[in-house]
Amino acid sequence: MTEFEMISTLQGYNNIGIAIVMNFFTVLTAYLAAGYLSAHTLTRGMAAFVTAMFVVLSMVFVLAASNNATATNHLLVEMVKFAKAGKGLAWGNWASMSVENFTIGAVVVTTVLLAIMIGGVIAGVYFFYDCRKRSLQASS
């Protein structure tokens, strides 16, 4: 893999990661809006179906984000090795970086991102059913 291909691939991974996270938060926002505006009008079965669809789609985003982060980490490690071997990437100070630091940093960032996403799913489901419960109690 050449220097140009590495940088191009890294940019592609970054774009994919951003798209995954933005799509996740778009779906989360839509679910929250649906909960706030119409959860009380849904039957129990319809609410369960909407929630199941949201959770399944959200887990697809979580897995995609995890896979993308893993691929990005592997590429970054290869880029550091490439620079240390003197094959290129000298302009980016890559040769002075530590493979271990990249791996530790990637694990920390990935763990925090996935925790935020999973926490968002749990909080979203709680919010949806809390809105549903409050609206049903107010109407009875």
pTM of the model: 0.86
CB 63 within 8 A of CB 115: no
Give the separation between CA 102 and CA 70, rounded to whole angstroms.
11
- How many angstroms separate the Cα of 140 from the Cα of each of 35, 133, 136, 137? 19, 11, 6, 5
Cβ(102)–Cβ(61) below 8 Å:
no
- Per residue in 49-65, pLDDT (tens digit) is 999 999 999 999 999 99
Q: What are the tens digits of pLDDT across the range 10-67?
A: 999 999 999 999 999 999 999 999 999 999 899 999 999 999 999 999 999 999 999 9
pLDDT at residue 93, as a whole number: 79
Of all residues in the chain, the percent with pLDDT exceeding 90 is 64
pLDDT in tens, 66-99: 999 999 999 988 988 888 888 888 877 777 888 8
pLDDT of residue 140: 61
Closest by CA position to 22, among listed 117, 104, 132: 117
Does domain 3-139 match CATH 1.10.132?
Answer: yes
- Directed axis angle between helix 99-139 and helix 3-38, to 10°? 10
Residue 106 near residue 72 (C-beta atoms within 8 A): yes
Residue 134, token pair as written in the block: 């409050």
